Amino acid sequence: MNLKELKKLISNCLNLQNTNEEQTIMRKVHFLPWVGKNYLKGIDGRKVMALGESHYCGRPEDDTTEITNDVILCYLDSANEFEGWMNTYTKFIKALSGEEISRESSALWWNKILFYNYVQVPMSGPRVAPIAQEFRNSDDAFFEVLEQFQPDCIIAWGKRLYDNLPHLGTAGEDVIAPDGAAIETWNYTLRTGHIVQVLPITHPSAGFATDYWGQIIQTFIKR
């Protein structure tokens, strides 16, 4: 990819700041999702949603509806200095794509997915875990996002998040890992009858085995 093509990719991503203006109003959602411009085309024809747990807002002014989009745009803009937290996003896209990918070239893949953080109130610190009631207070917003965007599959970042998702669905078919381990999945059935499959992965930060989870994610999406 040459410099001209890379600048065009970043420009396209920056144009997505207006995406949420075209969305149906979601009354229960505070932190609006990132919606890639090619989300509806999906990956191998499947609409993919990456699901994080929560946002940390160090300053009151950071607590805005656009914080999720701002975080992704900040990550994609190579003019911004690379910071440690960005490794999480690079590792996830490497696993999702199955490719050796850079921060800059990952724009292609971020444009293919939807990214949403579950808990709809900010955390007071970077390592502060949401309490049970904060998860439950965010359930309606989660289903509002699912009903609007109708993802085919969700990749949930971390066991704690997965364990705190609503138990309204049914157990899905296990995904078999490269080492033979069975990774459980969960299904939600929407009002349209559409089934959304959920895969839990290790949080893509420290200790995340990119190749291992990449094989699992790609098997999950393609089945």
Amino acid 8: pLDDT: 47
Amino acid 125: pLDDT: 85
What are the domain boundaries of the chain?
3-222
User: Could you report the per-residue pLDDT of 92-112, keeping only the tens digit for each?
Assistant: 999 999 999 888 899 999 999
pTM: 0.89
Residue 10 — pLDDT band, cuts 50, 70, 90?
Answer: very low
Pairing of strands 170-171, 48-52: unpaired
Q: Which CATH number among 3.40.470, 3.40.720, 3.40.50, 3.40.1630 corresponds to the domain 3-222?
A: 3.40.470
- Cβ atoms within 10 A of the Cβ of 82, count? 11
* The residue type at 111: N
- Of residues 22 and 67, the one with the higher pLDDT is 67
Q: Give the H/E segment covering residue 198.
A: strand 195-201
User: Could you report the per-residue pLDDT of 172-186, keeping only the tens digit for each?
Assistant: 999 999 999 999 999
Q: Using the predicted structure, report yes or no on whether residue 140 has a pLDDT greater than 50.
A: yes
Tokens in use for 147?
């009903």
- Residue 125, burial from CB neighbour count under 10 angstroms (0-12, 13-18, 19+): exposed
